[in-house]
Structure 1
Amino acid sequence: MIIDCHCHAGPGDGLSGPWDSNAGLGRYLRRARAAGIERSALLATFHSDYARANAEVARLAAARPKQFYAYAFVHAVRDRGRIAAMVRTAVQDYGFIGIKVHRHDARISGEVCQAARVFGVPVLYDPMGEVAVAELLAAQYPDVNFIIPHLGSFGDDWAAQLALIDHLVRHKNIYADSSGVRRFDLLEQAVRRAGAHKMLFGSDGPWLHPGLELEKIRLLHLPESDERLILGENFMRLTGQA
């Protein structure tokens, strides 16, 4: 089973670009189906009220429970003091499988990590190239799993992605997803050095083509057992679905 661990969905209300505007799934789902992707993990677009945005993602996921998982998006500063309550609603009422945080909003906080620890879910944190935080996360929250998307930088920051590979090698609770990684040699190096068990397949849909992102994994020409880890088994293990 192939699982896309990183797909945005639902309404945005910023209107500064696709990343905070409405993310429809029509074309994404057609492309995913054609590529053989069977399930997807949804997360909201940037929004001024993540409680509302998460509720909409929950509605989408509930409509196709055999196809969609979902993350609870939180703002580490704006939602301060209510993050645990938001995650509780998402996990216990909606059935969400993780927490999403983005440095575009605010840097990750101890409150977010503590909520992940309490509810036993991983954190998908985009540090926008500030990958040194992985050292602190691994040391202070060794019982929480952190997935760093884009191998550390959607902005194609070679130095940050190279540095994250070292964190993947050294820290058992630091993982990465493959979405939007343009430097194929670094993706190949990450799997070779850290192992297939540390990488998850993601597309950053609906904006990036899931079939194209999937082909990067195919082109690694891994043993079948390693490819299965990246394409779904790692996600299932980290989110407690295995």
Structure 2
Amino acid sequence: LRRARAAGIDRTVIFAAQHSDYARANAGVARIASRDPERFFCFACVHASRDAGRIREMVCQAVRRWGFRGIKVHRAEAPATREIAETARAFRLPVLYDITGEAYYIEMIAAEYPEVNFIIPHLGSFADDWRAHRQVIDQLVRLPNVYADTSGVKRFDYVVEAVKRAGAHKLLFGSDGPWLHPALELQKIRLLELPPEQEALVLGGNLARLIRHVAAPRRREQSSPRKSQL
């Protein structure tokens, strides 16, 4: 957070990635966010396999009790399921889904659930899989409910291509903190040299739009977007 503040980042999305007990971990995230509720947007982490059968209950608690704004799923644990997508649809939540390079799965689930917005971190691959980057860029162009974030994308030209082909309205600034330095990740967006209104979308406007209609939010959305990181 010190790094984010120094970089001029006003709001931060937080979640408890890769935990053995996501019900407990989500409660911990809620406690952290309660210390500075104007700073944080929280996403509820779920394990598609281990939490099967209680995902809706977990997300319901996170949204209605703590004001969470999205769902986080990691393919390394288990692929996203219909239970997750249907829960996201019921609460009008975006799904931040790390596909670990397996872009083909987005074709199926995003098409089956057009009402659910999917955010693909790392433009599809933290491991620098150029094939995944190209596939996700193509999906950004074709699928209206698929978005991507910029965190950890090492080949800058793919970020340029994503904006050029899909538009700034399909890309979100991501930092992947604390593993990556948010100021370095933010500089990628500055180097795109976008018009101010497009840069504002990438730096917070798109996120604000995607979380605006969450069911039973805890607090009112800010009237104007500020820089937000995933």
TM-score (ref. length: structure 1): 0.87
Report what 1:141 is aligned to: 113
C-alpha distance in 2, partners of 1:100/1:203?
15
Aligned amino acid, residue 183 of structure 1: R
Unaligned runs of 5+ in 1: 1-28
Aligned amino acid, residue 14 of structure 2: L
Residue number among 73, 90, 93 corresponding to 2:65 in the alignment: 93
Residue number among 134, 156, 173 corresponding to 1:162 in the alignment: 134
C-alpha distance in 2, partners of 1:192/1:62?
39
**How much has 1:136 moved relative to structure 2?**
1.0
C-alpha distance in 2, partners of 1:85/1:138?
23
What is the number of residues matched between the two proteins? 214
**How much has 1:45 moved relative to structure 2?**
2.6
Report what 2:37 is aligned to: 65
Q: Map Cα deviations across residues 57-103 of structure 1 (whole Å, 9 max, x no partner).
A: 00011111000010000000000000000000001101000000001
Residue number among 111, 115, 119 corresponding to 2:91 in the alignment: 119
Is residue 55 from structure 1 mapped to residue 27 from structure 2 by the alignment? yes
Residue number among 76, 99, 103 corresponding to 2:48 in the alignment: 76
Equivalences for residues 161-240 of structure 1 within 5 A: 161-240=133-212
**How much has 1:134 moved relative to structure 2?**
1.5
**How much has 1:137 moved relative to structure 2?**
2.0
Report what 2:228 is aligned to: none
Identity of aligned residues (%): 61
Report what 2:215 is aligned to: none
Is residue 37 from structure 1 mapped to residue 16 from structure 2 by the alignment? no
C-alpha distance in 1, partners of 2:15/2:176?
10
**SS of 1:204 mapped into structure 2:** coil
C-alpha distance in 1, partners of 2:15/2:150?
16
**SS of 1:41 mapped into structure 2:** strand
Aligned amino acid, residue 172 of structure 1: P
**How much has 1:138 moved relative to structure 2?**
2.2
**Large movers: runs of 4+ above 6 Å:** none
Residue number among 85, 102, 124 corresponding to 2:74 in the alignment: 102
TM-score (ref. length: structure 2): 0.92
Q: Map Cα deviations across residues 18-44 of structure 1 (whole Å, 9 max, x no partner).
A: xxxxxxxxxxx1111111101101010
C-alpha distance in 1, partners of 2:170/2:137?
10
Report what 1:4 is aligned to: none
Q: Map Cα deviations across residues 154-206 of structure 1 (whole Å, 9 max, x no partner).
A: 11100011110000000100000001010100010001100000000010001
Unaligned runs of 5+ in 2: 213-220, 224-230
Alignment RMSD, CA only? 0.8
